[in-house]
Chain A
Amino acid sequence: MITRKDLTHIGWLSRLELSEKDIEKYTPKLNSVLDYFTELDDVDTEGVPPTYHVLPLSNVFREDEVSAQGGSLTQEEALSNAPKTQDGFFKAPRMM
């Protein structure tokens, strides 16, 4: 069961500002989903390895070469979608 306190913490970890109203609204819905997830408790997975990747791929590399295709963006392109910039930098809020 997710408590309101859990949800506040999860909201913080997710950087989602949750109002009292949101918490009120989300808590039962999230719990109904989590409750549904407990179905998995019935499955015996003793000794079963997890499947992180569905295909048995390994050792996929790129050579240490500067890419032409799909390579670097110009500064202008890099900043083109930024809501705020200054002197070629992205401009973020203050730290503290």
Chain B
Amino acid sequence: MYDNPDGVMIGLEVHVQLNKLKTKVFCGCVTDYHNDPPNSHVCPVCLGLPGSMPVINKKAVEAAIKIGLALNCKVEEHTQFYRKNYYYPDLPKGFQITQYDFPISSGGYVMIEGEDGELRVGITRAHMEEDPGRLVHEGTIDKSKYTLIDYNRSGMALIEIVSDPDMRSPKEARRYLDKLRNIVGYLDVFDGNLEGAMRVDANISIMGGQRAEIKNISSFKGAERALLFEIVRQKNVLRRGGVVVQETRHFDEAREITLSMRTKEEAHDYRYFPEPDLVPLKISGWAPAIKETLPELPDARRMRFVEQYGIKDDHAKALTSELKLAIFYEDVAKKADPKTAAVWVCDVLKGELNYRDLTVEAFKKEHMLSVLELLAGRKITEDGAVDIIRTLLDKGGSPEEIIKEKGLVIVAGDIVETAALEAIVENPQAAADYQAGKVKALNSLVGVVMKKTKGGADARKVREVLIAILSDGFYPPIEREKIEKTIIKIGDVMVEVSKPIANLLKKMGYV
């Protein structure tokens, strides 16, 4: 049982941007603005020009229902938009069109791995709203002499997912966020890789204090850091006999601290009322129809992968953490050994992708299949396979070309053997050292063999062969009892080998 010594309670408000829609939520401006100049994708509506009026994007409503269903929420039959009245420079109308009473969905949950096993995090509600613009500060928010505003983001469709305060540590918060991204990512409504796709406001309190709301957290790592900082800050306040007041704090991403945003008057009064320019939505019947189209969600898919492909749960979990990766794996697993495929996709490919900040789209399924096939046929070594994967990601090409270019084809056994013998003969001191118990001496011999085979040998295999020759004194490792050993002199050094090896060396003219 996790006893939560500080009485930490964390609730998160996550804003998911429906950036896969073609247009914004209330106007026909494109959502694809990420690489364009500021204020180049705006219209009278999203710029809040006087006289402009919103019209609801139908696809956004459908996407909201999808998300609600995926979070086990109840989707309402009647929903409505409200105005939330407050001032902020990023808000072009002085109010945000959002939902209040009658949110499109509410009362759901998400299962995560908690501090002490499975944790059910309640979803209070998941409602629709519009994104404000983007503020740019020169330096930090508290020092900047002015504020620059870009409204390209203004009016993007958002789903605000409000959790119950069920998380008890920053780690659980992080896991919840990962899980949320995982689930929503399955629904083909947002691209989590775009800047600002998921933004977090965190509410956190510890025993004996009121809650603080931390705004402007733009990454999951940031959320974890902000929460860690807040726990320490709140504990310090209490330890010094102070009072943790309810307030809004701003997360300074660069300094990894939270700053009080308290102004002369903190109290908000949003004066919600129904948006008179939008009519109500009667959407009974939509949810059942949309439910039919929902894809298999991460948890279900993870269980199926374990059952159907016999892979480890850890692998199944990692593979289903992202829809594209799961599809990639499944396509590969159908044409190759599923277990080996799991290891290579999960342990190798995913790592290499993460390292390069790439998604699985950067790697072709056919290439993964070729690599697995070459490995199965012992045409390449495991190191060679890793090399191929890395090269494909860095330079492109095809596995075949890379093999040819780098000479990665596995070198036949007898060549390794010959090279090993040559290595011993040329470095008798190393061989003798190894036999005398200096295990490390073997490494230099391995290196020599690898050089002789131009890297084409499997390093593990080379080790095996060298150990066989030097430890057991004979090679190949068969009928070892029957074979007589003999001591030969190579240069000035005496090495004990089997008679066949001695003969071989003699034949080769080394002894």
Contact = CB atoms under 8 A, between A and B. Distances in A.
Interface of A: 9, 12-13, 15, 52-53, 57-68, 70-75, 78-79, 86-96
12 contacts: A13-B269, A59-B282, A61-B58, A63-B58, A68-B28, A71-B28, A72-B41, A88-B150, A90-B148, A91-B149, A96-B141, A96-B142
B56 A62 contact: yes
Interface stretch (B124-132, B206-214, B273-281, B386-394): B273-281
B58 A64 contact: yes
Contacts of B59: 63-64
B272 to A, nearest CB: 12
Interface in B336-363: none
Interface of B: 21-23, 27-30, 37-44, 47, 55-61, 87, 89, 135-137, 141-142, 144-151, 265, 269, 271, 274, 276, 278-283
Contact of B39 (A52, A58, A67, A88): A88
Contacts of A70: 28, 43-44
A93 B56 CA distance: 32
Nearest to A15: B87
A64 B23 contact: yes
A32 B82 CA distance: 30
Contacts of B145: 94
Contacts of B41: 72
Contact of B30 (A58, A61, A66, A94): A66
A66 B28 contact: yes
Top-7 shortest CB links A-B: A67-B28, A89-B148, A64-B59, A61-B58, A57-B279, A90-B149, A92-B147
B44 A67 contact: no
A61 B55 contact: yes
Contacts of B271: 13
Among B22, B39, B145, the one with the most A-chain Cβ atoms within 10 Å of its Cβ is B39
B16 to A, nearest CB: 17
A12 B265 contact: yes
A63 B59 CA distance: 7
Contact of B23 (A13, A67, A92): A67
Contacts of A58: 279-282
A90 B39 contact: yes
A96 B137 CA distance: 11
B39 A79 contact: yes
A61 B56 contact: yes
A73 B154 CA distance: 14
Given A70-B28, A94-B145, 13 more contacts: A59-B279, A59-B283, A63-B58, A64-B59, A65-B22, A72-B29, A73-B47, A78-B40, A87-B38, A89-B149, A91-B147, A92-B135, A95-B144
Given A75-B39, A94-B147, A62 B44 contact: no
Contact of A53 (B40, B137, B276): B276
A43 to B, nearest CB: 20
A95 B145 CA distance: 8
Contact of A72 (B37, B38, B43): B43
A67 B57 contact: no
A72 to B, nearest CB: 5
Nearest to B144: A94
Contact of A89 (B21, B39, B44, B56): B39
A17 B321 CA distance: 52
Contacts of A93: 89, 146-147
B37 to A, nearest CB: 5
Contacts of A52: 274, 276
Contacts of B281: 58-59
Contact of B57 (A64, A87, A96): A64
A53 B355 CA distance: 55
A15 B271 CA distance: 14
A95 B89 CA distance: 9
B28 A92 contact: no
Nearest to B28: A67
B136 A74 contact: no
Nearest to B21: A64
Contacts of B40: 72, 74-75, 78, 88
A13 B267 CA distance: 9
Contacts of A15: 87
Contacts of A60: 55-56, 278-279
B293 to A, nearest CB: 16
Contacts of A90: 39, 148-151
